[in-house]
Amino acid sequence: MSSEAVGNIERELDDYITTNLPRFIAELGVLCSPNTTQSSRRSKNEPDDTARLIINMLKERGLKTENWSLNKRSAIFARGEQRTESNTLLSYNTYEITPPGQMDEWQSAMFGLNERDGKLYAKGVADNRANLVARLAAYEAWREVYGSVPCNVKFLIEGRTGDGQSLASKLLAEKNGILKADACLWDSGENTPEGIPVISLGQKGYLCIELRSKTLSQDGNSSLAGILPSGGWRLIWAMSAIKNDNEDIQVDDFDRDIQVPSHEDSSFIMQTAKRYTKRMEERLTRFGVSEYLMGLKSIPLLITEFFTPTANIIGFEGGYLGDDVKSVLMASGQARLDFRLVPNQDPDTALDLIRKHLYNRGFTDIEVRQVGVSEKPVRTSPNHPFVKLAVESLEQAIDLAPLVIPLAPTVGPMYAFKETLGELPLICTGAYYDGAQRQTSNENIRIADFLNHIKFTTRLLGNLNNYSRPDETEKNTETATSKQVSD
């Protein structure tokens, strides 16, 4: 196809998107309404209110839907017309949102969209309903303008509960034939402060634990603090045994499986650092600090952010903090920590190492238990053909080169998809940005980012048939070679 013909197609698609943008925004508003954040089911096998709304959105665009359920969890699978000669894109999305929180912390209504200064505010708009609506809008644009979508498209949309359990990851082995695809567009994705889309090539692993001190059988009076142990101090010392004030994780053998960044990683980081400066500066301003930990800058900062595991205190509690004075010797306390793991680390191994580490240092009164679901780290190579195709598609859509980073700050069942679906290449890119305040008050997206994600997805759908997975390329080469030999 000539460049002129391609240009005409892109203009016609963009005209349709621009004309219908108010309708897409209104549709997003309905998806962020109160009824979709406080969903109810008629029975455990029926979709909730949000799922029913999404199913209607899919059907209106000619997609065939199936409702999958297991143990009170639900997922929606949808696909358009499937052609054997075309490549397949799988879009993974989630629609469950965190609890609403305090309404008085919002500057406008929490539910339904409120537009201010080019931004759309609503609970769930960034995390992550805007991405779903944007991708459906791109699918619709192709179908309405040209009568069909040039590649095969599948959607897997699930409502995950607060404990992080994923129905999709549990059903992958059973449904892998149905979910088979050539590439996957993950549910999350951000943009820089200046509006440059970010493509993330994977995510760190995740482990959340709770430490509980059971030092005394009951609280005592602080007059006994010189002769009886304190559950509070024991908890603090246990956390100090995990990480010191030099930001080093102290757990024995915690880093034994970590690989030194490869030559490919080092080259990738050097290229990324050139375009990462504004992002680094904006973060410091947003969080009100003058420098990063340990004075990190440039390439060392990026290596630490993407290729170094973390140990973070989420929160802790215990004892007495009332208005009056109460002299309490704490019998117990609890703290919650999470760990972001880098490629090759395993959360189950990490949990075992943490338990052994504390036990060997005498913290026998500290119970360590896992909270929620752990996830293994996963990456797609920056040199993968699908990554290059995604970069080209974004450049075509907004005439700007995206920022490509190794790992996203999100958590999800990405490893299960990549492992079960045959080393499926996955990328994250979407409609939120650093200031979107996901999962907090005044959650928002910028309309420009929403529009750009629609345009990007239309280009990706148009380009997908130009892409071959490396294993398929090798297979075709081997077949051609064998045929030449036999001839």
* DSSP secondary structure letters along 43-109: STTS--HHHHHHHHHHHHTT-EEEEEEETTEEEEEEE----TTS-EEEEEEE--------GGG-SS-
pLDDT at 393: 96
pTM for this predicted structure:
0.87
Q: Name the CA radius of gyration of the chain, rounded.
A: 25
Predicted local confidence at residue 477, as pLDDT:
33
Residues in the chain: 487
Residue 482 has a pLDDT of 38
For 130, 225, 231, 234, 317, the CA distances from 216, given in Å and listed in that order, are: 50, 12, 7, 11, 16
Spatial separation of the C-alpha atoms in residues 342 and 453, rounded to whole Å: 28
DSSP assignments along 341-375, one per residue: E-TT--HHHHHHHHHHHHHHTT-TTEEEEE-S--B
How far apart (Å, rounded) are the C-alpha atoms in residues 122 and 112?
6
Contact 334, 317 (CB under 8 A): yes
pLDDT at 412: 86
Of 413, 411, 394, 414, nearest to 402 by C-alpha is: 394
| Mode of pairing for the β-strands spanning 403-405 and 198-200 | parallel
In sequence order, which residues have a C-beta less than 8 Å from that of residue 391 and are 6 or more positions away?
A: 199, 401, 402, 404
The candidate with the shortest Cα–Cα distance to 180, out of 363, 420, 459, is 420
Beta pairing partners, 357 = none
Cis peptide before 191 (omega within 30 of 0): no
- Tell the burial category of 434 from Cβ atoms under 10 Å away from its Cβ (0-12, 13-18, 19+): middle
Select from 89, 58, 178 the least CA-distant residue to 462: 89
**Which residues have CB under 8 Å from 404's CB, separation 6+?**
198, 199, 201, 268, 272, 382, 387, 391
Q: Taking Cα atoms as reference points, which of 110, 35, 193, 119 lies closest to residue 446?
A: 119
**What SS3 state is found at 255?**
coil
Q: What is the pLDDT along the chain (487 residues), one digit of tens a residue?
A: 566 667 788 999 999 999 999 999 999 999 988 765 544 444 455 567 888 999 999 999 999 999 988 776 778 999 999 999 999 999 999 887 666 666 778 888 888 889 999 999 998 888 889 999 999 999 999 999 999 999 999 999 988 655 566 787 788 888 889 999 999 999 888 898 889 999 999 999 999 999 999 999 999 999 999 999 999 999 999 999 999 999 999 999 999 999 877 777 788 888 888 788 888 888 899 889 999 999 999 889 998 999 999 999 999 998 888 888 889 999 999 999 999 999 899 999 999 999 999 999 999 999 999 998 899 999 999 999 999 999 999 999 999 899 999 888 888 889 999 889 988 999 999 998 877 787 778 889 999 999 999 999 999 999 999 988 776 544 443 333 334 434 4
Question: What is the reported pLDDT for 475?
Answer: 40
Non-local (6+) Cβ contacts of 467 within 8 A are: 87, 182, 183, 385, 386, 389
From the CB of residue 487, how many other CB atoms can be counted at a distance below 10 Å? 5
Write down the pLDDT at residue 487: 42
- Which run of H or E residues covers position 158? strand 152-159
For 243, 382, 410, the CA distances from 205, given in Å and listed in that order, are 18, 19, 9
Q: d(Cα 379, Cα 415) in Å, to the nearest integer? A: 9
Please give the Cα distance from 168 to 66 (Å, whole number): 13
One-letter-per-residue 3-state SS of 232-254: HHHHHHHHHHHECCCCCECCCCC
Say which amino acid occupies 364. T
For residue 243, the cross-strand partners are 249
The H or E element spanning position 207 is strand 205-214
Tell me the longest C-alpha to C-alpha distance in the chain. Answer: 94
d(CA 291, CA 284): 7
For residues 242 and 239, what is the distance between their CA atoms, to the nearest angstrom? Answer: 5
HSE-CB at 83 with a 13 A cutoff on CA atoms is: 9
